[in-house]
Structure 1
Amino acid sequence: MSDDRLTHAEWTAAIEDGDLLGQRCPDCGHETAAPKAACARCGSREVETVSLPTEGVVHTATTIAVAPEGFEGPYRVAVIDLGEARVLARLDGDAGIGDAVELAGAVDDRDEPAPLFS
């Protein structure tokens, strides 16, 4: 098993620096935009860290009108298609399904940074 597996702390630090990191499975080629213990497609534990594009397309989006406790609402979230991977992110502005967006930084709610696309 790889000793350089992407951690959540490394992933969030990269987001804060304006970078997106993900993982690729060398066995099946599946990519994911968040740290995982194993490949979601084939189960291989030999995943490697990769840089992901910072530009993508809105796959789906919604507005959270009633925010969970500790969060300010309303706010928008979207699944952003980055080619081989998708990432759940906050969405700044009114982009809709099929619109091109790019990483605009990070939203830091309750010390849990999330990618912000606009």
Structure 2
Amino acid sequence: MSSEGDDVPALTYADWRAYLKAGDLVGLECESCGNVTATPKRACVECGDRNLDTHTLPNVGVVHSETTITVPPVGFEGPYQVAVVDLGDTKILGRIGGDEEVNIGTTVECTDAVELDGMPAPMFEPVE
């Protein structure tokens, strides 16, 4: 689904949320330079081109960085861990679920989405 240079994004935030709630990670790939992003953008962050296609992302990746949130925002119970997960072509921020903590280099899988006020985020758990 390409925007073909007009102002209609290939993947809206509403589309991205629907995919995530259905258990699918998707992003965008630039037709010009091949850069992949994990969340909707109106233009490529590398070259500025607006010709973007929806791109299916893998559900398994490796923790690139992580931190523990000890003072959570209103509506969340803490403490909990979040991580930037390297999916190969791109990276995405997600929450870590389950009872195990993860470290840099841990392989994780997107298993669910956590949601607050209609705003979902990917939930990752360590792969055994």
TM-score band by shorter chain is over 0.9
1:49 aligns with 2:54: yes
Aligned residue in 2 for 1:17: 22
Q: TM-score, normalised by structure 1?
A: 0.93
Cα separation, partners in 2 of 1:11 and 1:111, compared to 1, 3 Å: same
| CA RMSD between the two structures | 1.3
Q: Give how far 1:4 is off.
A: 6.1
1:113 aligns with 2:128: no
Aligned residue in 1 for 2:80: 75
Aligned residue in 2 for 1:90: 95
Number of equivalent positions: 118
The unaligned stretches of length 5 or more in structure 2 are none
Q: Deviations over 1:34-72 (max 9, x none)?
A: 001111111111111110000000000001111123332
Distance 1:114 1:89 in 2: 6
Q: Give how far 1:26 is off.
A: 1.1
Structure whose CA Rg is larger? 2
Identity over the aligned pairs, expressed in percent? 48
Distance 1:99 1:110 in 2: 30
SS of 2:39's equivalent?
coil
Structure 1 runs of 4+ aligned residues shifted over 4 Å read none
Q: TM-score, normalised by structure 2?
A: 0.87
